[in-house]
Amino acid sequence: MTNAPTACLLIIGDEILSGRTQDANLKFFGETLAAMGIRLKEARVIPDEPEVIVETLNTCRALYTYVFTTGGIGPTHDDITTPCVARAFGRNVIRHPEAVRRLTTYYEGHPNAARLKMAEVPDGPDVELIDNKVTAAPGYRIGNVFVMAGVPAIARAMFEAAAPLLKQGAPVFSGHVDAHVKEGDIAAELTEIQARYPQTSIGSYPFYKDGKPGTSIVARSTDKAAISSALADVAAVMRARGAEPFNVPSL
């Protein structure tokens, strides 16, 4: 896993930071990238402020194999991602001819000026459009940065279209075992189990269910057999505490 591609998700939008909108993209990217063996190492949520977008993008694209941005590529005044991406790369903004053609077709020959903004991309030979099956407005790739819409259905459609462009690593699998036992009662044993499975990341997450406290133990690894074995050890510890696991993990 050490040579696996890495990624950062850059969530651009005042509406997420103000609490107006619940982000629904991070969970999707986390799950999907893990299955592709791309390690999502960080997500940053930043406001619609040009300096912040430019600086954050330049920081993150230097740190990770891939950066995915969501938000700010629509037709309105608050959609400022593309000029910021262009500034970050030191490029001009151009209207992409193919994007203009698609928008013109979609809007029956008459996309207005605002909508033609959605055909704008940074200039350069490393820029390519990313289709989506929901709208006529494309996202795009520039270098190792993938610029996508914020609306979850569109972001997902764009990611599907972009996926073939991505290097993949060994997929990260996960499994879990849950029981009505408090995590503080099995913490010492969990430490030992984690030590026995250094290639498996074991997380402990408390919950309440049916009015009673419980714990979900999650194991993540590229090695399915290690996950199964570690979780079997966890299940044995739970049983030793008198708590029958709800689920027997099968991978």
Binding site for a copy of itself (CB under 8 A): 13-23, 26-32, 34, 40-48, 52, 74-79, 112-115, 117, 151, 172, 174, 183-185, 187-188, 190-191, 194, 201-206, 218, 220
- The nearest distance, CB 142 to a copy of itself, in angstroms, is 23
We find the least distance from the C-beta atom of residue 117 to a copy of itself, in angstroms, to be 8
Q: Which is nearer to a copy of itself, 128 or 189 (CB)?
A: 189
Rounded to whole angstroms, the Cα distance separating 84 from 57 reads 9
Q: How far is the CB of 192 from a copy of itself (least distance, A)?
A: 9
Contact 128, 140 (CB under 8 A): yes
Beta carbon nearer to a copy of itself, 167 or 203: 203
Nearer to a copy of itself, 30 or 124 (CB): 30
Shortest reach from residue 124's CB to a copy of itself, in Å: 26
Please state the φ and ψ torsions of residue 83, each to the nearest 5 degrees.
-60, -30
Distances (CA, A) of 81 to 38, 76, 154: 24, 11, 16
Between residues 47 and 126, which has the closer beta carbon with respect to a copy of itself?
A: 47
Identify whether the C-beta of residue 121 lies closer than 8 Å to the C-beta of residue 96: yes
d(CA 62, CA 239): 47
- Minimum CB separation of residue 95 from a copy of itself in Å reads 16
Q: Which residues are within 8 A (CB) of 28 and not within 5 positions of it... i.e. 6 or more apart?
A: 152, 155, 156, 159
* C-beta of 19 vs 90, nearer to a copy of itself: 19
DSSP run (H or E) holding 189: helix 183-196
